[in-house]
């Protein structure tokens, strides 16, 4: 069923688990992701980042995402990831996305506030939720010193913009990690205590299990995963072609579906979003 981001994250925020947000660039990605979500009865977020538009144009992917979400037996949010402008966010809203992210983290604080506020005003009029980012999530191999989300700034930002979810920078990185990052969980706890809205972790591919668990028990309700899916697909295709050099296209499509399902299953289990894997009644995650 197609739902908004707030509908999915409300329960996650209350019960201390995270919902996986998976960047899907093909039909095979979408099919594998939803198979995993339905098998585990977990909510899921299908998303597409603006930097991925050259390979997966938003206008072509939107109908696929939306139809798949509507047919699904579990809650599915269709989300624009890292929208780089007001115009891109408006395009996504018009196409039917139920959530959009404007990424103004590289902008001066007041400019980020201004554009994010305008995105929120337009989105809310259409019944669409908004994620924004404060602080700078780095890239693999790049020094991330002095780019953590500031706690006091986060409070002002949330109050001024009216967003539904905040992506934070606590030492996390985008892309394939060369070294496992050391996340600042203390900073995360401070941001969570100051802002009770759902928090988002970008750069989920490559984070350690220990850090994932610390994050989802301290305010992270949405975790983005992209690189892990595409790398698993590449690995499985390479292995299949090594075994069967003359393999035809149709069987390879199933390889892509299976690889996508594997990765999404692993992350749903890790993020504790499946009621089938919930801790016994009376236990606590804190």
Active-site residue list: 81
Q: Please state, in angstroms and rounded to a whole number, the distance separating the CA atoms of residues 118 and 93.
A: 13
Decide the pairing of beta strands 165-168 and 220-225: unpaired
For residue 262, give both structure tokens: 């594997």
Cα Rg, the chain, nearest whole Å: 18
Q: Please state, in angstroms and rounded to a whole number, the distance separating the CA atoms of residues 221 and 96.
A: 23
Cα-based angle 33, 26, 36 (whole degrees, multiple of 5): 10
For residue 91, give both structure tokens: 């395009």
* Complete DSSP assignment for 128-179: -EEEEEES--EETTS--TT-SPPHHHHHHHHHHH--SEEEE-SS-EESS-SS
For residue 118, give both structure tokens: 């305008």
Cite the DSSP H helix spans in 72-137: 86-95, 109-125
């Amino acid at each position: 069923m197609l739902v908004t981001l707030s509908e999915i994250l409300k329960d996650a925020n209350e019960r201390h688990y995270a919902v996986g947000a998976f960047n899907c660039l093909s039909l095979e990605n979408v099919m594998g992701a939803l198979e995993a979500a339905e098998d585990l009865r977990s909510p899921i977020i299908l998303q597409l980042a603006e930097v991925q538009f050259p390979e997966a144009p938003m206008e072509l992917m939107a109908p696929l995402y939306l139809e798949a979400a509507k047919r699904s037996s579990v809650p599915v949010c269709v989300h624009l990831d890292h929208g780089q402008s007001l115009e891109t966010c408006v395009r996504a809203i018009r196409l039917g996305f139920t959530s959009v992210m404007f990424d103004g983290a590289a902008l001066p604080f007041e400019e980020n506030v201004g554009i994010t506020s305008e995105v929120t005003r337009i989105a809310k009029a259409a019944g669409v939720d908004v994620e924004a980012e404060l602080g700078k999530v780095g890239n693999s191999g790049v020094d991330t010193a002095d780019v953590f989300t500031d706690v006091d700034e986060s409070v002002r930002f949330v109050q001024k913009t009216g967003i539904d979810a905040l992506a934070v920078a606590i030492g996390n990185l985008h892309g394939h990690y060369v070294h496992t990052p050391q996340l600042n969980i203390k900073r995360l706890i401070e941001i969570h205590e100051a802002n009770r809205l759902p928090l988002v972790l970008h750069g989920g591919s490559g984070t350690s299990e220990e850090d994932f668990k610390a994050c989802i028990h301290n305010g992270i309700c949405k975790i983005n995963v992209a690189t892990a899916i595409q790398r698993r697909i590449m690995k499985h295709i390479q292995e299949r072609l090594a075994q069967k050099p003359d393999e035809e296209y149709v069987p390879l499509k199933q390889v892509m579906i299976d690889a996508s399902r594997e990765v999404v299953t692993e992350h749903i289990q890790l993020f504790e979003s499946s009621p089938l894997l919930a801790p016994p009644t009376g236990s606590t995650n804190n």
